[in-house]
């Protein structure tokens, strides 16, 4: 009888397909690392595309990058770094069997993850309002220029090439360009000093061979072709940040599941593998953003000066 009872006993959390907790933990950990290796290759393709196109059209990519809000990007970086800390503390308190602090850390992690998505939504809205979504007809549509001038609060487009003091119109007013987009197509309006910089780069032979072909038609600077190269940057920007945001949403779903399990006091010093595995995924998502932030937001900032 005692042998039968000993054979039927399972430690908390042990699944029937595993012999013991150690085998289960090793299998789960290996499985998560294999999944993360596949994710690295997945994101690696996007990073490779970014590096290839940026090496071909550095000025167009710098133009697109300078239109991004580096402050919001830096804020999101800080938010994710702190969320990694709270996630690590979640694993620590799960190992200690401290239910209350574990629940608090999971909630904090979810709050930081939600803040990240809210900030990203603000950035996406800005791109929508300025006609920078690379999908056809997906941008904000406005009336014609004559009707748009009648609106009370016309939109302004900031110029990444403008000097720190700002270009002035006659009468001392700052230069303004109203957003007009009747079809919702992608458009690029930051032409302040573009021609001048292109000419300087051309005279100094700073343009790549791809840029000499990609920006000019019959020896003249072609705004439509330059806009197309900037559009490539925004294709990559939305692909990379959108995919990253999707991973963040999945991570929040995992945190919600962990929160429910932790509230039921499921995890202890003997069984905390799900928390540890979820932590690996969360840290991976954070690390991907650590690479995205400088590549998309910071490289090319010297063009402002």
Q: Which residues pair with 216 in a beta bridge?
A: 221
> Could you read off the pLDDT of 80-97 as tens digits, one per residue?
999 999 999 999 999 888
SS3 (DSSP) at 145: helix
Is-contact 34 292, C-beta < 8 A?
A: no
Burial class from Cβ neighbours inside 10 Å (0-12, 13-18, 19+) for residue 252 reads middle
pLDDT band at 161, cuts 50/70/90? very low
- What residue spans define the domains of the chain? 45-141+185-304
More confident residue, 176 or 43: 43
Per CATH, the number for 45-141+185-304 is: 1.20.120.80
Q: Are strands 220-221 and 216-217 parallel, antiparallel or unpaired?
A: antiparallel
Helices (H), the chain: 2-8, 21-56, 58-67, 70-96, 99-129, 145-148, 194-203, 209-214, 223-263, 273-293
Q: How many other C-beta atoms are found inside a 10 Å radius of the C-beta of residue 283?
A: 16
* pLDDT, tens digit, 9 for 90 and up, residues 197-231: 777 777 777 888 888 888 888 878 888 888 899 99
The whole-number pLDDT of residue 145 equals 54
∠ Cα 258 261 22 (to 5°): 85
How far apart CA 233 and CA 33 sit, in angstroms, is 31
């Amino acid at each position: 009888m005692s042998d039968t009872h000993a054979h039927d006993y399972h430690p908390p959390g042990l699944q029937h397909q595993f012999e013991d907790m150690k085998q289960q933990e090793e299998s789960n950990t290996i499985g998560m690392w294999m999944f993360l290796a596949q994710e690295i290759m997945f994101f690696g393709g996007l990073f490779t595309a970014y590096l290839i196109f940026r090496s071909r059209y550095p000025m167009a990519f710098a133009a697109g990058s300078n239109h991004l809000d580096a402050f919001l990007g830096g804020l999101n970086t800080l938010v994710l770094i702190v969320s990694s800390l709270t996630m690590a503390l979640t694993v620590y308190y799960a190992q200690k069997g401290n239910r209350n602090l574990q629940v608090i850390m999971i909630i904090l992690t979810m709050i930081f993850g939600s803040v990240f998505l809210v900030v990203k939504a603000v950035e996406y809205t800005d791109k929508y309002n300025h006609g920078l979504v690379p999908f056809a007809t997906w941008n904000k549509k406005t009336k014609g220029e004559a009707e748009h001038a009648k609106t009370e609060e016309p939109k302004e487009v900031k110029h990444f090439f403008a000097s720190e003091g700002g270009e002035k119109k006659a009468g001392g007013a700052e230069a303004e360009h109203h957003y007009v987009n009747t079809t919702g197509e992608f458009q690029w309006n930051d032409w302040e000093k573009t021609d001048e910089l292109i000419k300087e780069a051309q005279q100094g032979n700073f343009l790549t061979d791809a840029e000499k072909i990609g920006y000019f038609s019959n020896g003249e600077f072609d705004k439509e072709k330059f806009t197309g190269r900037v559009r490539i940057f925004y294709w990559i920007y939305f692909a990379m940040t959108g995919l990253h945001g999707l991973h963040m949403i999945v991570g929040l779903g995992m945190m919600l599941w962990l929160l429910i399990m932790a509230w039921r006091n499921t995890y202890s010093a003997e069984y905390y593998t799900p928390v540890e595995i979820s932590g690996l995924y969360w840290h991976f998502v954070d690390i991907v953003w650590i690479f995205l932030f400088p590549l998309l937001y910071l490289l090319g900032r010297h063009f402002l000066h």
